[in-house]
A and B are shown apart, each in its own frame.
Chain A
C-alpha cells in the first residue's frame, strides 16, 4: 500500500504566519491527493481535493500544490481557528491511505 509521510510532525507558528506542510508518497499518486483539517473532538474536514482544488466553503488562504510524490498544503496567513492537525490522503491506489499528520500549534 502507498505510504504517505508528512513533515514536519509539528509546526509552531504565530497567528498571521505562513504555514507550509509537506506530504510525500512512497510512489506516484498522480494528483489524487486530499488534505483534511482536524480539531480536537471533531471529525476531519476536507480542505483540498485532487491536490489543488479547494472544497466547498474553504477560505482562499488554504492552497494545495504538487503531483506525483510530493505535495504541499500552504496556509498563507494563519487565523486562530487554523491551529489544528492536518492529514493528507491518497486515493490513487487501493486501499486509500492517510499520512500521519502535522500539528500546527501556536508559537
Chain B
C-alpha cells in the first residue's frame, strides 16, 4: 500500500523559512516524479512544484519560483520542500503527491494527508 506522510508544517512569521518533508513507502520511490500541491483554507488546489524521479529536473509554479526549493533523497524515500521568504498567501495545507507514471505525467495517483503551513505575525 502506498503511503505518503507529510511533516514540518506550523506557524511561521512572514519572511520566515520552513522545511516540509514527505516520507514515502509502498512503492519504488526512485522510479517516480513527485510533487507538492497546496490548498488554501476552504479553497481549491494549486500545483506548487514537481521533481523528476532522479532529482535532476525541477519545476515550480510562478507564485513560488525563487523562494521554494524541492529536493529528494532516494536512499531514504523522502521528498522535501524548502520554503523561504514566506508570505501570508502561502498559508495552505501542503500535500505530497506521487505522479501516476514512471515518466512524469503531471497527474497524481496517491496523495498524503497534508501538513498545514500558517504564515502570520
Contact = CB atoms under 8 A, between A and B. Distances in A.
Interface size class of A (residues with CB under 8 A): 20 to 34
Interface in A13-62: 32, 34, 36, 41-46, 49, 55-56
B44 A43 contact: no
Contact of A46 (B61, B106, B109): B109
Contacts of A63: none
A98 B44 contact: yes
B109 A55 contact: yes
A100 interface: yes
Interface string B80-116: 0000000000000001010010000111111111100
Interface in A72-107: 87, 89, 91, 94-101
A87 B111 CA distance: 14
B32 to A, nearest CB: 14
B47 A96 contact: yes
A30 B10 CA distance: 39
B46 to A, nearest CB: 7
Contacts of A94: 59, 106
Which interface class (under 10, 10 to 19, 20 to 34, 35 or more) fits B? 20 to 34
A101 B44 contact: yes
A35 B110 CA distance: 13
Contacts of A32: 107
Interface of A: 32, 34, 36, 41-46, 49, 55-56, 87, 89, 91, 94-101
Task: List the 9 closest pairs (A to B, CB-CB), nearest first.
Answer: A43-B111, A91-B106, A98-B45, A34-B107, A96-B106, A46-B109, A96-B47, A100-B44, A43-B95
Given A45-B111, A98-B46, 6 more contacts: A43-B112, A43-B113, A44-B45, A46-B110, A55-B109, A56-B109
